[in-house]
Amino acid sequence: MSHELRTPLNAIMGFSDIMRQSLFGPMPEKYGEYSALIHESGEHLLELINDVLDMSKIEAERFELYREEFDARDAISAVMRLMRGQADRAGVSLRGLMPKEPLEVTADRRAMKQIALNLISNALKFTPRAGR
């Protein structure tokens, strides 16, 4: 099942990556931004697919967290970029204060991004228009 879900998504991510890198020549700046967003959204969709597959592992008691050291600013920044469009459509100003120094954590990167995504998504749902 995972192969059937991932194969079309890999094509989308691959072609959007080609566009991001302008491998076939330059394109308007806005298209570059769009292709980057397509790629990030594809990565997020892949993570969601992995989450669904993980649920079956949890139910079968075979789920494992993958702890690693990483800079949490990168994970949170990726989620902020991904949610910016939703915030704009909701009329909400999405802002985040990131420390200048690395914020090293040991955690499951995918789980951390999903937690941040859920928190920001809920905040957007309950923040009135023109809020921040």
Residuewise pLDDT in 10s, the chain (132 residues): 677 887 888 889 889 989 988 989 999 999 989 998 999 899 889 888 888 888 888 888 888 889 999 999 999 999 998 888 888 888 999 998 999 999 999 999 988 988 898 899 889 889 999 888
Distant-in-sequence, close-in-space partners of 81: CB < 8 Å, separation ≥ 6: 37, 40
The confidence score (pLDDT) of residue 94 equals 92
**In terms of Cα–Cα distance, which of 33, 31, 40 is closest to 83?**
40
Same domain, 54 and 70: no
Q: Domain containing 15: what range?
A: 1-64
Look at the block and give the residue holding tokens 């789980």.
111
The confidence score (pLDDT) of residue 16 equals 92
Q: Which of 64, 86, 104 marks a domain boundary?
A: 64
C-alpha triplet 28, 33, 34: angle, nearest 5°? 95
Q: How far is CA 31 from CA 20, 22, 72, 114, in A?
A: 8, 10, 28, 27
The confidence score (pLDDT) of residue 1 equals 63
Q: Which of 41, 64, 87 marks a domain boundary?
A: 64
Same domain, 21 and 51: yes
Number of domains the chain contains? 2
Q: For residue 96, what is the DSSP state?
A: -
In sequence order, what E strands does the chain have? Answer: 67-71, 104-108
The confidence score (pLDDT) of residue 77 equals 94
Same domain, 50 and 92: no
Contact 132, 92 (CB under 8 A): yes
The confidence score (pLDDT) of residue 120 equals 92
Q: Which of 21, 44, 64 marks a domain boundary?
A: 64
The confidence score (pLDDT) of residue 4 equals 82
Residues linked to residue 69 through DSSP beta bridges, in sequence order: 106
Same domain, 83 and 48: no
The residue count of the chain comes to 132
Same domain, 38 and 99: no
Same domain, 23 and 84: no
